[in-house]
Amino acid sequence: MIKIRFLLKKPNKKEERLEYITITEPKVDKSQKFVWGYRYLCEVYLSDINYNYPAIYGTNPINTFQLALEIAKIHLQGFISSGYIIKEVETKKPWVLEKGKNLSERIDDIKNNKDISADDKKKILSIIKESFGKDPSPIKDQVNKLID
C-alpha cells in the first residue's frame, strides 16, 4: 500500500489540513477470468472527500498501479486548478508539479478523437463523470463542467 500525505491549504485561508491518498497494492481479481487471463485491481482512497474508488482494473500489476496513480494525479490537479496550495508534510514546502496535460486537455482529446465513434465517446465520458461519485468535490465539479 502506498500513502501519499500532503498539506492542503485553501485559497485565502491560513489553516492547512493534512490529507492523503492511499493506493492499495494490485491484486488478482479471481472473481472474473477473461480470455487472456485474470485482471488486476487496486483501490484508491481520497481522504479529503472520504471516497474510496471501488476498483481500478488493469491487465498487469504495473498498468493497474499506473491507472491508480493517474486518478491521484488528476485529483491533485483539480485542487491546483481551484487555487489550493499543496505542501510537503515535513518541510511544508509547496510541491512543484510538472506540467502535463490537464484534465480539460485529456477530455478534449477524447471528444476530438476521430478513431472513437460518437456513441463510444458518450459512454467513455459518462463513465468518467460517474466515476467521481455523487458527493461534491473540486475535481467532480471540474469534470462536470468539461463534459457537459
Structurally, how many domains does the chain consist of?
1
Residue where the block lists cell 496535460: 101
Q: Where do runs of H (alpha helix) occur along 57-99? A: 61-81
- CA distances to 15, 20, 34, 46, 134 from 81, in Å: 19, 18, 39, 17, 21
Q: What is the mean pLDDT of residues 48-75?
A: 80
Q: Is residue 56 predicted with pLDDT exceeding 70?
A: yes
CB within 8 Å of 47: residues ≥ 6 apart: 19, 20, 21, 22
* pTM, entire model: 0.58
CB atoms under 10 Å from CB of 106, counted, come to 16
How confident is the model over 78-126, as pLDDT tens digits? 888 778 888 888 888 888 765 556 677 888 888 888 888 888 888 888 8
Residue 4: CB atoms within 10 A of its CB come to 14
Percent of residues in the chain assigned helix, strand, coil, to nearest 5 = 35, 30, 30
Domain that includes residue 89, residue range:
2-147
Amino acid symbol at 24: T
| pLDDT (mean) for 2-20 | 85
